[in-house]
Amino acid sequence: MQTDNASEATPADRRRLRVRESIISAAERVFAKEGENGLSIRRLADEIDYSPSAIYKYFGSKDELIDELKEAFFERLLQKVDRSSSADRPFLQRAKACVATYVETAVTRPFHYAAAFSSIQSTVPEGCAAPLSWDGFVASQKGQAFGVLISMVTEGQELEVFDPSLDPVMAAKSIWAASHGLAQLLIHMPQFHQLVPNQQPMTATDFIEFHADLQIRGLLKPAAGTGSGRLSGQNP
């Protein structure tokens, strides 16, 4: 990760940052070719012609390296969302750009996206699952990216554009789930956006924009007299 003030970084700090970034880039390449099981400190050392001991100066274990790989994807995503959702654009345009950027970033870097969701936990017996730590989650880059979605929903409600009855966290989770699903489909079925009979050719970008528009329209404030459209079980 970058220092708080790059202009104050010493030459040694900048070199350390470059080496760290090269290790993460190499880890992404190895993950792409061999998956999580093929990624090890020794394998990584072979990939970039470093000694394992040199890599251990930056990452104490494979688990620490994978955690950093996950964080790096969402750090990159946050930077792209920040650029694409400039505050000088109308709110609805910014909201759509936020959703579209997530999918586009995932599709552009599919192996890094896969790494960001690696290490699937084994099934826990029903009734024994421990809840995720909210504090730990929001402190991560992934949690901060999710926080952007929550803030987007909240801003839309404050502007009286989005349905005020929606729970911002639940709405953000729904958008994330739908966008994650589209990203996975486009990664594993690259021509998914063309699976529509008797229609003019459509690009992946066109379909991503359609998806983003549909997601945002689903949050809009209902017209007067049409009801809230609230689903059963949703907060009153």
Mean pLDDT across the chain: 82
Q: Is the pLDDT of residue 233 over 60?
A: no
Is pLDDT above 60 for 229?
Answer: no
d(CA 4, CA 21): 16
Both tokens assigned to 179: 């966008």
Residue 123 pLDDT grade (very low, low, confident, very high; cuts 50, 70, 90):
very low
Flag whether pLDDT at 232 surpasses 70.
Answer: no
* Beta-bridge mates of residue 162: 220
60's enclosing H/E stretch is none
Fold that domain 69-118+130-225 belongs to in CATH: Tetracycline Repressor; domain 2 (1.10.357)
Round to whole Å and give the CA distance between 35 and 62. Answer: 13
- Classify 162 as helix, strand or coil: strand
Residue 95 has pLDDT above 90, yes or no: yes
Residues of the chain with CATH 1.10.10.60: 11-60
**pLDDT for 230:** 47
On the CB side of 81, CA atoms within 13 Å amount to 24
Structural tokens at position 86: 């400039």
Question: Could you tell me which of 190, 228, 230, 193 has the C-alpha nearest to residue 211?
Answer: 193
Q: Which residues contact 31 (CB under 8 A, 6 or more apart)?
A: 38, 39, 69, 111, 112, 114, 115, 118
- Mind listing the pLDDT tens digit for each residue in 151-203? 999 999 999 999 999 999 999 999 999 999 999 999 999 888 888 776 777 88
Provide the CB-side half-sphere exposure for 187 (13 A, CA): 19
- Residue 8 in tokens: 């104050």
Distance CA 138, CA 141 (A): 8
Q: For 138-157, how does the pLDDT look when each residue is reduced to its tens digit (9 = 90+)?
A: 888 888 889 999 999 999 99
Write out the residue limits of the CATH 1.10.357.10 domain(s) in the chain.
69-118+130-225
**pLDDT over 90, % of the chain:** 34
C-alpha 222/C-alpha 42 separation (Å) is 57
Q: Which residue has the higher pLDDT, 111 or 108?
A: 108
For the entire predicted model, the pTM comes to 0.75
Please state which architecture CATH assigns to domain 11-60: Orthogonal Bundle (1.10)
